[in-house]
A = this chain, B = another copy of it.
Amino acid sequence: MKVHTKKCSLQTEGFCDIRDVTHHVVEAVEESGFERGLATVMVPGATAGVTTIEYEEGVLEDLKKAVERMAPEKIPYAHDRRWGDGNGFSHVRAALIGPSLAVPFGPEGLVLGTWQQIVLLDFDNRPRKRRFLVQVLGEGKRS
């Protein structure tokens, strides 16, 4: 088995901006040449997260509301009192969602449902250029 690493980036708007990154993961697996294995998407940084969802405008709005219920933007945060960044809510949201997701793949590609996309959520309180990484562990074909 071998490791293939793909470094990626995208521009986000922050404030729970949800971006479909599935094609980056598909490309990473294709570049690897592996027939089967595990692709892990990881976003470094403490104000973003990774999960899956049907990438449909309605449900993205619904997810943003659920995240707002869990860590509202407008309540006081101790982080903001100490550091004045104003993004305490971003940090809490990121910790709850988590920064990485592992997705298996085989000869038929990534194990995802038809209406299931891999998404990066930028919870920060400003636009950012987000770097993230797909680490592919696998075997087969050219490995």
Chain A residues at the B interface, C-beta cutoff of 8 Å: 1-3, 5, 36-38, 40, 42, 44-46, 51-54, 56-59, 61-63, 66, 69-71, 77-83, 88, 91-92, 94-104, 106, 111-113, 115-116, 119, 133, 135, 137-140
Contacts and interface: CB of A to CB of B under 8 A. Distances in A.
Contacts of A58: 77-83, 88
B57 A78 contact: yes
How many chain copies does the complex carry? 3
Contacts of A139: 1-3
A53 to B, nearest CB: 4
A88 to B, nearest CB: 5
A83 B59 CA distance: 10
B66 A69 contact: no
Contacts of A61: 78
A79 B59 contact: yes
Contacts of A112: 44
Nearest to A97: B96
Contact of A133 (B80, B82, B100, B111): B111
